[in-house]
Amino acid sequence: MDRRMVLERLDFERRTLVYDGMIKEELAGVTRGRLVNGAQHWIGYSALNEETAEGAIAREIEHHRRLGVAFEWKLFGHDRPGDLKQRLEGHGLRVGESEAVLVYELRSGGGWIDEKSEVRVDRIERVEQVEDYRRVNKAVYGGDQDPMADELVIAVGAGSKQHVGYVAHADDGEAVSIGRLYLNPESWFGGLYGGATAPGYRGRGFYRALVAARARDAAAAGARYLMVDARPTSRPILEGLGFEWVTDTWPCEWSP
């Protein structure tokens, strides 16, 4: 895999690509994003330097302060300037834990994608199925996990093929593991997000089955690569399947 080419394409898509239910604004050095319903706001891309970074950060804070909304600056390890994370922290943004951006080239032909599995994985195609997703999400992360489930409700109701949810079930039919897939006909990547397995069911192949199911759908949709922001718990599993590291990412959050 050509890491430099992948990062260049990733940056292009971060700057320009729009998914269902999303609005993007390309500004000088920064691309803002938000959901149509206003539930989330973010900075998905930046191209700054030592002279422009401070002004851009201050501008985005003031913009979101006027709106009265929180936002996330999604920082990548190859973003510039090299001290951008420290600059964001200096402006009061809370930097979350690092995640590894891993990429898998679908044409590499890994046999794990089509291997037979005893795990039942359902693609969420009806609104009522989202409740299974919601329950597992809360069991894993606690707190208020409704916004993501609510996004799935909107996507399913609209018949979107760009934001798809998945649920894996134990032998007794209980929903125990979840994941999401983001697709866009103009993207090189099938984005794997939200992978989570309920306590007591980990290490039993549910996560792997969900990755394989989403990989099959991404390949069928024409994606060239799979991409995932991996936590330390999932990174060894994914690298064992052939995913490769390309950069790191941090969520940097600001609240009014």
- pLDDT per residue over 92-103, tens digit each? 999 999 999 999
Tokens of 222: 């024409």
* Domain edges within the chain: 3-101, 104-246
Q: What is the pTM of this model?
A: 0.93
The 8-class DSSP code of residue 109 comes to: -
CA angle centred on 193, ends 99 and 2, rounded to 5°: 65
Query: Is there a contact between 252 and 70 (Cβ–Cβ < 8 Å)?
Result: no
Give helix then strand counts, H and E, for the chain: 7, 12
Strand, coil or helix: 2: coil
pLDDT in tens, 117-162: 999 999 999 999 999 999 999 988 886 667 888 889 999 999 999 9
pLDDT in tens, 11-41: 999 999 999 889 999 998 999 999 998 989 9
pLDDT in tens, 219-251: 999 999 999 999 998 999 999 999 999 999 999
CATH of the structural domain 104-246, one choice from 3.40.50.300, 3.30.460.80, 1.25.40.80, 3.40.630.30: 3.40.630.30
What's the gap between Cα 148 and its chain centre? 11
pLDDT in tens, 72-93: 999 999 999 999 999 999 999 9
